[in-house]
Chains A and B, each alone.
Chain A
Amino acid sequence: MEVINCDDNVYSIEVENVYKHYRIYKDKGSQLKEKLLFWSRNKYTENAVLKGISLKVKKGEAVGFVGHNGCGKSTLLKLLSRISYPDKGIITTRGRISGLIELGAGFHPDMTGRENIYTNASIYGLCKKEIDKRLDKIIEFSGLGEFIDAPVRTYSSGMYMRLGFSVAINVDADILLIDEILAVGDSEFQAKCLNELKEVKSRGTTIVIVSHSLNQIEEICEKSYWIQNGEICMEGDPREVHRAYLEATVH
């Protein structure tokens, strides 16, 4: 790790020639017995998911990834968040990364909303002081009011997601990764989320969105990548890329 001055490094994310394979087991034995008895069965074929992706995202820029199911866009997001690692190539990220991927991770149903904020925010790597500082904002944004001191098991699924979203967005990450998440809560809360994303972006947060909702990408992002078969097929202005993508899909 090297500490550098932010202003000298305009790129938040640099992906250089990244390859990723997944192992597809023909007949996977995860039990010891099977591993010992059937060595041959543990043969797997390597399925190339990403084939040499390179891209750069500037600080404060928002980009979207579009493509068919299985094209590798979610895998790319996983690599960016360091949940899994590339087989080849280097990914450089600058700053704290947060993801709107699994909302409400680590919630304990018997604990109150307030207690769960601490657990959930700590999973994003915040220390107690940092959470204390954000607590009021998180509660206010969630709009849960007095329910914040009720056990989470009494929440409706919408309330649960709202609390989860509220924590995730208030982590104040430098890079925000979003995978098909803007379907949270009612339409009013969705609009609030979208506004908040724009606001977060205007404060200089880099945003990466994977979505099938092309409209949402067009509304937030300056740039869109169309990924097909693990390669970048087209990149540029979201409207143009999406037009080409839709045309290709129809034909």
Chain B
Amino acid sequence: MQKETDSRSKTVSVRKTGQKESFLQTVKEIYSYRQMIVAFVRRELRGRYKGSFLGFLWTFLNPLLQLCVYSIVFSTILQSGIEKYYLFLFVALIPWIFFSSSVLGGAASIISQKDMVKKIYFPREVLPISTVTTNFVNMLLCFIVVFAVVLLSGIRLNFPALLCLIPVWAVEYLLALGMAFLTSAVTVYFRDMEHILGIVMMAWQYLTPVLYSYDIIPQQYKVIFDLNPMTPIITAYRDILYESKIPDFKSLLSATVMGLIVLLIGWIAFSKLKRRFAEEL
């Protein structure tokens, strides 16, 4: 949108406020602010552990220590009967944490940058996008640990199945982004949203086969789990990394469709609500 106005090219962008912006205009504008997304993601990732003694190493230490706790608890106290339960849990938990922290962090993304939103213009979409992308990059870094643990535990990885991780990541990113658009915009108007979401995300975790397998869900409740787009996503991660098999494409397709619907709803809600952000904050 905002083109460089060099002495050579004398074209400038004309903008009319008071009229609706089109979808394409907004997308183009977000693209022209891509450096802001990069800068925010970098600031957040580097800033998170800055000042601590181990610094960036915490990105890897965190999941590793969590894994230690789980493997101790579930091998001594809560014996689940699932073989290599720590791995069963770990490959599902890392993606779940990405999703849950994107939704929760997304909800806070606009109100936490209140001063900036009130005083500077930039496409508001940048804030939830940066939050989700930060968490996404963080998850990808955690996957280095996941791969290491999977290999060390003696699971033979299936290469074609591993390639399927890419679409699974993409679908989860879209879903998380859609949720973050929705929650970030709504939280500006209803501050309770942040607290409600804490509970909602906890319940959502138990409505997703993260701690247990899809197979043990009683038949009459399966319909709830099937309507949850996170079910096929988490199951796909487990298929790839725990069972080392190619995930079920039919259920992944339904997750993609549901993810796109959530993204569409989130986008529309965000576009409607963003116009009065500066006044409501």
Alpha-carbon distance A198/B128, docked complex (angstroms): 38
Alpha-carbon distance A110/B4, docked complex (angstroms): 31
Within 8 A of B (CB), among A227-244: none
Alpha-carbon distance A79/B18, docked complex (angstroms): 10
Interface string of A81-98 (1 = CB under 8 A from B): 111111011111111110
Check if A91 sits within 8 Å of B40, measured CB to CB.
no
Q: Which of A22, A90, A105 sits near B120, CB closer than 8 Å?
A: A105
Residue of B nearest to A8 (CB): B10
Residue of A nearest to B10 (CB): A6
Check if A4 sits within 8 Å of B189, measured CB to CB.
no
Alpha-carbon distance A81/B122, docked complex (angstroms): 10
Q: Does A32 interact with chain B (Cβ within 8 Å)?
A: yes
Check if A125 sits within 8 Å of B2, measured CB to CB.
yes
The total of Cβ contacts below 8 Å across the A-B interface reads: 151
Q: Which residues of chain B have C-beta atoms less than 8 A from A97's C-beta? A: 121
Check if B43 sits within 8 Å of A108, measured CB to CB.
yes
Check if B121 sits within 8 Å of A119, measured CB to CB.
no
How many residues of chain B have a CB within 8 Å of chain A? 49
Q: Which residues of chain A have C-beta atoms less than 8 A from B43's C-beta? A: 106, 108, 111, 119
Question: In angstroms, how far is the closest chain A Cβ from the Cβ of B24?
Answer: 9
Question: In angstroms, how far is the closest chain B Cβ from the Cβ of A93?
Answer: 5
Other A-B pairs, 16, CB within 8 Å; known A84-B278, A126-B35: A1-B15, A4-B14, A6-B11, A7-B10, A33-B192, A81-B120, A81-B121, A82-B17, A83-B120, A90-B17, A92-B16, A94-B12, A105-B120, A106-B39, A110-B47, A125-B2
30 A-B contacts, Cβ less than 8 Å apart?
A1-B14, A1-B15, A1-B28, A3-B12, A3-B13, A3-B14, A4-B12, A4-B14, A5-B10, A5-B11, A30-B189, A31-B192, A79-B17, A82-B15, A84-B275, A85-B18, A86-B17, A89-B18, A90-B19, A92-B14, A92-B15, A92-B16, A97-B121, A102-B116, A119-B40, A122-B36, A122-B39, A127-B35, A130-B4, A131-B35
